[in-house]
Amino acid sequence: MAIGVYDFFSGCGGTSAGLRSAGFRIALGVDNDSNASQTFKANFPDAEFISDDIALVEPKHITAKMYPRDDAMLFCGCAPCQPFSRQNKRRGKDDPRFNLLGYFGKFITHFLPEYIFVENVPGLQRLNADGSPLNAFTELLESLGYKVTVDKVNCLHFGIPQKRVRLVVLASRLGPISFPKKTHGPDTSNPDYATVRNAIEDLPEIQAGETDKNIPNHYASRLSVINMERIKATPVGGRREDWPDKLVLKCHQGDYDGHSDVYGRLRWDEPSITLTARCNSLSNG
């Protein structure tokens, strides 16, 4: 069966890349980030792309981009996670991105794709539980005749060197879909989790402010003298709480106990903590 993927909130195409590696055909990406759209087009030259705010996109715009020879359609809706993240001070309905799943549902209602995939932070499920965007979304799917399965997935159980828990929604009009079995960890054929060492040990060493000439995106940020001292004062597995008083930032002094995981140092032989969108910044851990 030829399944065409329609990737809403596609960004540069991370979800599409995974699905392509699993044998799916990438038909369309939709995103309002012009920089991400350029990367998507470079990685998926045969796919169509709509570069616009999803609130302004109409079903007719999708129809004009559809590939006629697919046997089935998979709609992906991995909307930005920030409105539902614990790190977001505007968390909830005050964030303009709060209802992106609602816009995604508009296209599902119109086209009734055979399959649906949604991935987001677990906070999507916890936030305003009774009236959460997730509840409204799954109720919509069920009213349209979809069999819906919702579960939390930790990426380290599937060979990713990172402790990253995500909420996943699978839905189908052709029958229920079960989640794949874990491939890594206790009671699997791979009892050891992938580690930071597994992921980056083979990268050549570079100094602060340097960029590797041969490996794209392998660079190290410039560091001030005091930030270099902070790094040296952070033990393996440690964080800013391990620093001497002279290195502590003013905003972290006193009784402040928030964001204790920033300025952290990873353990070489363990999976990484959850990486955030700004993980390339020292102050984001």
* CATH code assigned at 92: 3.40.50.150
- Whether 226 and 280 map to the same domain: the answer is yes
Sheet holding 115-120, edge to edge: 48-51, 25-31, 3-8, 72-77, 115-120, 165-172, 147-154
What confidence tens digit (pLDDT) does each residue in 188-226 have? Answer: 999 999 999 999 999 999 999 999 999 998 999 999 999
- Domain region containing 232: 195-285
- Whether 133 and 204 map to the same domain: the answer is no
253, part of any domain: yes
- Whether 123 and 40 map to the same domain: the answer is yes
45, part of any domain: yes
What is the pTM assigned to this prediction? 0.85
- Whether 27 and 157 map to the same domain: the answer is yes
- Whether 11 and 137 map to the same domain: the answer is yes
What confidence tens digit (pLDDT) does each residue in 81-97 have? Answer: 555 455 554 555 555 55
The total of structural domains in the chain comes to 2
What confidence tens digit (pLDDT) does each residue in 145-182 have? Answer: 999 999 999 999 999 999 999 999 999 999 999 999 99
- Whether 93 and 150 map to the same domain: the answer is yes
Q: Going along the chain, which residue ranges are E strands?
A: 3-8, 25-31, 48-51, 72-77, 115-120, 147-154, 165-172
What confidence tens digit (pLDDT) does each residue in 58-74 have? Answer: 999 999 888 777 789 99
- Whether 146 and 272 map to the same domain: the answer is no
261, part of any domain: yes
pLDDT over 90 (residue 127): no
Cβ atoms of 114 and 139 closer than 8 Å:
no
How many Cα atoms occupy the beta-carbon half-sphere of 68 within 13 Å? 1
